[in-house]
Amino acid sequence: MEKKELELYIHIPFCVKKCNYCDFLSFPADEDTQTDYVTALKKEIAFYGNRMKDRRISTIYIGGGTPSWLTERSMASILQQVYDAFEVAADAEVSIECNPGTIAEAKFVSYRQSGINRLSIGLQSPDNVELKILGRIHTFEQFLKTYDMARAHGFTNINIDLMNALPGQTAEKAYASLQKVLRLKPEHISAYSLMIEKGTPFYDLYKFDAIKQQAGMKTDALPDEEETYRITKITEKALKEAGYQHYEVSNFALLGYACRHNIGYWRRIDYLGVGLGAASLLDNIRYSNTRELYDYLSGTNELRAGLWEQEGRETLPATNLHASVEQVDRKAQMEETMFLGLRMIEGIYRSDFERAYGIPIEAVYGDTLARLQKEELLCKREGRIYLTERGQDLSNYVLAQFLQD
């Protein structure tokens, strides 16, 4: 029997210092805490490996936090546990997020030996003043050293993260920064706009500016709505001219280098998340692990399968590590297919929708599709439904139309 595809996400919550904009589940930790966490993580991986013999892992993504802060020995032991517990496809994409301030040559050697074949390096900006504003722990020069080391050790699939719409940034400044990155010729670039999130130092500094930005008003430090639009357009144009394919709202890749793990997420491929706070989607059930470190470490010592009690509904399979479990009903599945799938520039194939749900897409969303097409926000062509360029600019509005009452 053919094994079912599974993507694996591994969360490493540790970082040297939390950046000023970051609201991810991450925090500093001493060496003993990191060692205890790696031990717990390996127990969780082994637990699922024993129960998922019908699955084959197609992609592995190690995110954080700052996974590259772990010692090379710890990272190698985590991946060895994955290979021991699961069947991993021979051509699996294995990615790790790296921070230029936390990586040395020995780690790249170990990463290659452990099967890592894709790096995602968090630059955010090639401007040292902007890096300081963001609270990053590295300089552009340190990034360049890291990038050159990665190339020297044979990594041929590298993503660089870039952040736009930074305080004081103009379209011209963003373009100059992008040109510095393009000269390096990475295979993939993630270019996304700064979001001001609650609970971060940036929220305290810029929360009122963010409101003004969203309202189309004049801002004090952040680029206003018009300038943010200019930054987005000039970024897209420069990347296209450099040969990058715009394959998702915020992601660009040279031919053949689109991130397979992320595409799987947008296509609703089942994924297993392991580690503190990690999320999973398995057989249309969503799971989230506990976000409390003590509970996670102690829970893995007696990791066990059980049932999640739902008031007035049937119970769902779960473990003692789960903080939430939710059945995704048919209506929500279709909404997610539209909401996530339309983030992809190629959009959604009618045949895929009908194969998944046994009903034509127009039978569910016919009126919505017709209205968005009339508004020139959406296009239907060659069996695909996808956003127009105007639809991409207004993607939040368009995608919200598929969230039915």
Q: Once rounded to an integer, what is the mean pLDDT over residues 92-100?
A: 97
* Domain limits for position 364: 341-400
Give the per-residue pLDDT at 313: 66
Confidence tier at 315 by pLDDT (50, 70, 90): confident
Asked which of 266, 292, 321 is the last residue of a domain, the reply is 266
Asked which of 237, 266, 295 is the last residue of a domain, the reply is 266
Long-range contacts of 328-332 (CB under 8 A, 24+ apart): 328/281, 328/284, 328/285, 328/286, 330/357, 331/404
Give the per-residue pLDDT at 311: 67
Q: Which of 45-49, 90-94, 209-213, 349-353 has the lowest mean pLDDT?
A: 209-213
**61 neighbors 118 (Cβ within 8 angstroms):** no
Confidence tier at 359 by pLDDT (50, 70, 90): very high
Confidence tier at 101 by pLDDT (50, 70, 90): confident
Give the per-residue pLDDT at 15: 95
Q: How far is CA 214 from the centre of its chain?
A: 24
Q: Once rounded to an integer, what is the mean pLDDT over residues 46-73?
A: 97
The sign of the dihedral angle between the CA atoms of 131, 133, 134, 135 is positive
Residue 165 belongs to domain with CATH number: 3.20.20.70
Q: Which two tokens stand for residue 198?
A: 């609650």
Question: Rounded to an integer, what distance in angstroms lies between the CA atom of residue 342 and that of residue 396?
Answer: 11
**203 neighbors 197 (Cβ within 8 angstroms):** yes
pTM for the whole thing? 0.96
Q: Are residues 113 and 256 in the same domain?
A: yes
CB neighbours of residue 258 within 10 Å: 17
Indicate whether 2 pLDDT > 90: no
Specify the residue for token string 């999130």.
Answer: 197
Residue 298 lies in a domain: no
Asked which of 266, 283, 302 is the last residue of a domain, the reply is 266
DSSP class per residue in 55-80: EEEEEEEEEES-GGGS-HHHHHHHHH
Give the per-residue pLDDT at 309: 77
Q: Once rounded to an integer, what is the mean pLDDT over residues 65-79?
A: 97
Confidence tier at 9 by pLDDT (50, 70, 90): very high
Residue 354 belongs to domain with CATH number: 1.10.10.10
Confidence tier at 333 by pLDDT (50, 70, 90): very high
Residue 281 lies in a domain: no
Give the per-residue pLDDT at 405: 58
Number of structural domains in the chain = 2
